[in-house]
Amino acid sequence: MSAPVTSLADAKTARVAADHERAEWLVSLADGFNSQADLFQRAGTLGGRPLLRIPLRQVLLATKGIGDQKAAHILARVQTVLGVKIPVRKMTVGWLLDSRAGGRRAMAWQDVTTSLRSEPWPGFPYSSRLVNAVGGHQSSANRGEHL
């Protein structure tokens, strides 16, 4: 059985729609409406297949606070963590989510892009971090008082 024949007009329409969806997601990422995780989750669905072709460099550059140098550093670090050397242009969302990698690429991405730094509490390092019953921080001045 032969594959169904697609007309040139249908192929062009599909390409334009895919380009539009990729652009929409990159703009929503840049505007802060969606996160990288949202984009990756959508790309993993049947309707999000066009997103698999987005280069990871574009994903990084569309993320607030990341410029050319930081994007290059992140991509190089992902390659180092994975122990691979591939052209950056081949590092796409599809490459990241490829099931044949067993999640190693996604874990490396998460490891490299997640900051472990957190803001210290008031009084750091001279007072301990105290948390009240509703999850807010308690100042060291209230240390001995009952709430």
80 and 147 housed in the same domain? no
104-113 and 68-82 helices, crossing angle to 10° = 140
Q: What is the pLDDT of residue 128?
A: 79
* Distance, CA of 77 to CA of 59 (rounded, Å): 16
Q: Domain containing 43: what range?
A: 8-116
User: What is the three-class DSSP state of 29?
Assistant: helix
Kindly write down the DSSP assignment for every residue of 49-113, as one continuous string.
Answer: GGGGGSBHHHHHHTSTT--HHHHHHHHHHHHHHHT----GGG-BHHHHH-GGGTTHHHHHHHHHH
Q: Does residue 23 lie in a domain region?
A: yes
How many structural domains compose the chain?
A: 2
Q: Name residues whose C-beta falls within 8 Å of residue 19's C-beta, 6 or more positions apart in sequence.
A: 50
8-30 and 36-43 helices, crossing angle to 10° = 160
97 and 30 housed in the same domain? yes
Q: Does residue 37 lie in a domain region?
A: yes
pLDDT in tens for each of the 147 residues of the chain? 677 777 899 899 999 999 999 999 999 999 999 999 999 999 999 999 999 999 999 999 999 999 999 999 999 999 999 999 999 999 999 999 999 999 999 999 999 998 766 777 787 778 877 765 555 555 445 445 444
Q: Does residue 3 lie in a domain region?
A: no
